[in-house]
């Protein structure tokens, strides 16, 4: 039986502003955001302030939340590879980032949870 996974993915980011995150992701995609959103052929990305920011020290309360969805025509492999690139780009620029999705096991460092620095 084939694995059925929900394509929705959250990435919690420990950077102080959504602007910092959108700038990093615009750099990666080589495209500007339209407001808080960027639509690419392999993913749709929204960058938001995390409404739970600061409630605890847990990663789910980091200041920035990225929501990612797969467009209907995008291939799963391309979608997952795109999220992989987003994570690696964030990490490479000094941000802590952790995913919450059905396919964390397919991402580097299990979506970042094994990489978190306390």
Task: Report yes or no on 1 lying in a domain.
Answer: no
Q: Mind listing the pLDDT tens digit for each residue in 45-64?
A: 999 999 999 888 789 999 99
Rounded distance, CA 26 to CA 38, Å?
Answer: 8
Task: Report yes or no on 4 lying in a domain.
Answer: no
Buried b (16+ CB within 10 A) or exposed e, 31-66: eebeeeebebebbebbbeebeeeeeeeebebbbbbb
Q: 2 falls in which pLDDT band (50, 70, 90)? A: very low
Task: Report yes or no on 52 lying in a domain.
Answer: yes
Flag whether the pTM goes above 0.85.
yes
Q: Three-class SS of residue 77?
A: helix
Task: Report yes or no on 118 lying in a domain.
Answer: no
Domain housing 47: 9-112
- Number of domains forming the structure of the chain: 1
Rounded distance, CA 98 to CA 86, Å?
Answer: 11
Q: Mind listing the pLDDT tens digit for each residue in 67-108?
A: 999 999 999 999 999 999 999 999 999 999 999 999 888 887
Task: Report yes or no on 55 lying in a domain.
Answer: yes
Task: Report yes or no on 39 lying in a domain.
Answer: yes
Shortest CA distance to 40 belongs to which of 73, 2, 77? Answer: 73
CATH of the domain at 100: 3.30.310
């Amino acid at each position: 039986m084939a694995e059925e996974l929900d394509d929705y993915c959250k990435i919690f980011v420990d950077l102080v502003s959504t602007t910092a995150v959108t700038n990093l992701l615009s750099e990666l995609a080589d495209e500007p955001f339209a407001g808080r959103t960027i639509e690419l052929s392999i993913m749709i990305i929204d960058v938001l302030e995390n409404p739970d920011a600061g409630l605890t020290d847990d990663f789910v309360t980091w200041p920035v939340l990225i929501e990612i969805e797969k467009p209907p025509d995008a291939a799963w492999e391309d979608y997952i590879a795109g999220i992989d690139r987003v994570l690696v780009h964030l990490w490479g620029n000094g941000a802590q980032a952790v995913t919450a999705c059905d396919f964390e096991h397919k991402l580097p460092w299990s979506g970042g949870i094994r990489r978190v620095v306390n």
